[in-house]
Amino acid sequence: MEKAITANGWNNARAIQAIPYFLQDTANSWYQSLVNKLQDFNTFKLAFLQYFSNNNSINQLANTFTTIKQGENEAVTTYLGHFYRNLHQIQTIQADYFTAPQILNQFIRGLCSSILQHVCSMHPADLQVVITNARDFEAVKLETNHA
């Protein structure tokens, strides 16, 4: 549905009008019971995910999230994109599923071995600092390899 909204350049009002055309059966019945309460597409999306998500689906997402690893030749930025995309999926359903320290530790654990060693030697406590250190180390490593 989001791809169709983006591809067609629909504004919020048009996106809300289009929702029923994408839903069937139980989802459509649920939507019809809320139709006058939804003000925008993001409110719909959050309500939909909260209503139709169950513990199994969030646990599957969490399992995928905790197994994300940076490949040895994968850029930190690419790994970061996968990491944040998966984290966002979980937080859309349940914002407090992971604590900040758990998110930090998962990001660090997923780094490739050479960057992981460097980052851990700095005793990181902040995700943005870790990301900056990982990118900086990667840049130095690339410069050294090309020299």
**CA distances from residue 69 to 15, 16, 45, 79, 95 in whole angstroms, order as listed:** 35, 37, 28, 7, 22
Position 82 scores a pLDDT of 95
Alpha-carbon gap, residue 45 to 64, rounded angstroms: 21
Position 100 scores a pLDDT of 93
The token duo for 78 is 């690419």
User: How confident is residue 147, by pLDDT bands cut at 50, 70 and 90?
Assistant: low
Kindly state the DSSP code that residue 74 receives in the 8-state scheme: S
Residue 79 has pLDDT above 90, yes or no: yes
The token duo for 108 is 């660090």
CA 7-11-15 angle, to 5 degrees, is 75
pTM of the model: 0.64
Residue 19 has pLDDT above 90, yes or no: no
Alpha-carbon gap, residue 18 to 120, rounded angstroms: 49
User: Tokens 């250190």 sit at which residue?
Assistant: 133
Q: What is the dihedral of CA 7, 78, 123, 101, to 10 degrees?
A: 30
Question: Rounded mean pLDDT of the chain?
Answer: 87
Range in 32-46, 55-69, 76-90 the model is least confident about: 32-46
Percent of the residues in the chain that have a pLDDT greater than 70, as a whole number: 97
Q: Provide mean pLDDT across the span 64-92.
A: 93
Higher-pLDDT residue of 21 and 57 is: 21
Residue 35 has pLDDT above 70, yes or no: no
Position 137 scores a pLDDT of 94
Position 129 scores a pLDDT of 94
For the stretch 97-135, pLDDT in tens is 899 999 999 999 999 998 999 999 988 889 999 999 999
Position 58 scores a pLDDT of 80
